[in-house]
Structure 1
Amino acid sequence: MAPEEKIDHRLEELHRSGYKIVDGQPDITGWNIKARSGKKIGKVDDLLFDPHSHKVRYLVVDLDNNELGLNEDRRVLVPIGIAELYTKADSKEPRERDLDPAYSAYDPAEGGNVVYIPSVSAQQLDELPLYEKGRLSRHVEMAIRRILEPQRHSAYDEDEFYRHEHFDDDRFYEPHRHHHSKNR
């Protein structure tokens, strides 16, 4: 008989917690999520955050109506630092990224609020474990890490787990700054 899997209750769904989005940041719930190709992955269903650090750790992604051929009756978790936020305000002024092939899916003329996940493949999304509210364990989080970071096989230090760039919410809220500073 397998030992009982320890459920981690540190993270909560934002919209059912009584907490609110930080002033000045958009509530991205319901926003479309797109792949680098511009195809729809799904929608942001909610955000998982740590109430002690007040940091968002994951997007809860609803795969309904995706254009990648994935099973639509699923919700999965994607670390916040992998995603990139583009708002209508971003579309008002041209930027270098609009010419960058990595951002070819972003159409400033579209003028919409969109979340992009440019570095995750349809196969990786398909392999992600099903998200079940109240059932998140470190084992599930490790599975997500292994799928999204397959080249790394070493153990993760428990105290350092969320210090990885995948959980850097600044990368999400300010992707333009991080993208350009990385290329300098």
Structure 2
Amino acid sequence: MNNHQIIYSNLQELSISNYTLTEGEADITGWPVKSGDNRIGKVHDLLFDPEANTVRYAIVTLDEGTTMVEDKKVLIPIGLIDLDTSAKEIQTPDFHHEQLEAMPRYIIGEVTPEMEDNIRVVIGSPAALKLEEETVEIDRQNFYRHHHFDKNIFPQERGDS
């Protein structure tokens, strides 16, 4: 029986957690975020998973005019961002305006598994969307094994080679 209890994901903002970036991990807070050739916002903070000791999302404050909603923050899975350390900016996939509109608004402490599922559906590729539409329920135990959360591609400061 569902008593309509809301279950929140155990994610914390990096700035208020005990997590510290390791040597070589870039502190991207405040960096501009570009989607394709367009700036869409800036990194507000990172969302950290204390159980797995890893960053899951970049919290992005969208620029005014990017969506119809003012002061909207959204979550971009960490595996979907690339960074340009020389320009100190983040590059995301080329999101369509409709995708940014459809992204759920991030509110501190109110990330639910349903919200995370919705983010995956909104930003998924057309092929991924088709596959996920056919899936009745996303496997929560393996949710973070998706390429959107590939911790091996967490932004790293890279020296010139």
Could you say whether these structures have the same fold, taking a TM-score greater than 0.5 normalized by the shorter chain as the test? yes
2:127 aligned with 1:128, yes or no?
no
Aligned counterpart, 2:51: 52
* Structure that is richer in helix per residue: 1
Give 1 or 2: higher strand fraction: 2
Preserved CA contact (<8 Å) 1:43 1:62? yes
CA distance in 1, matches of 2:29, 2:105: 19
Partner of 2:5: 4
Q: Are residues 1:161 and 2:143 paired?
A: yes
Q: TM-score, normalised by structure 2?
A: 0.83
In structure 1, stretches of 5+ residues that fail to align are 89-111, 175-184
More divergent stretch after superposition (48-57 vs 70-79):
70-79
**What is the identity percentage for the equivalent residue pairs of Structure 1 and Structure 2?**
37
Structure 2: distance between partners of 1:51 and 1:21: 13
**Residues 19, 48 of structure 2: 8 Å contact kept:** no
Does the CA contact (< 8 Å) of 1:11 and 1:49 recur in 2? yes
Per-residue CA distance 1:77-102 (angstroms, 9 max, x = gap): 111111111111xxxxxxxxxxxxxx
Structure 2 counterpart of 1:114, from 89, 92, 102:
89
Query: How many equivalent pairs are there?
Result: 148
Q: CA RMSD in A?
A: 1.9
- The Cα shift of 1:21 comes to 1.2
* Counterpart residue number, 2:60: 61
Counterparts of 1:70 and 1:28, CA distance in 2: 26
Cα pair 1:70 1:122 within 8 Å, conserved: no
Contact 1:85 1:172 in 2 (8 A): no
How far did residue 128 of structure 1 move?
Answer: 0.5
Structure 2 unmatched ranges of 5 or more: 157-161
Residue of structure 1 equivalent to 2:19 = 19
Q: Which has the larger radius of gyration?
A: 1
Whether 2:126 is the aligned partner of 1:143: answer: no
- Rounded Cα–Cα distance in structure 1 between residues aligned with 2:92 and 2:68: 15
Letter in 1 for 2:59: V
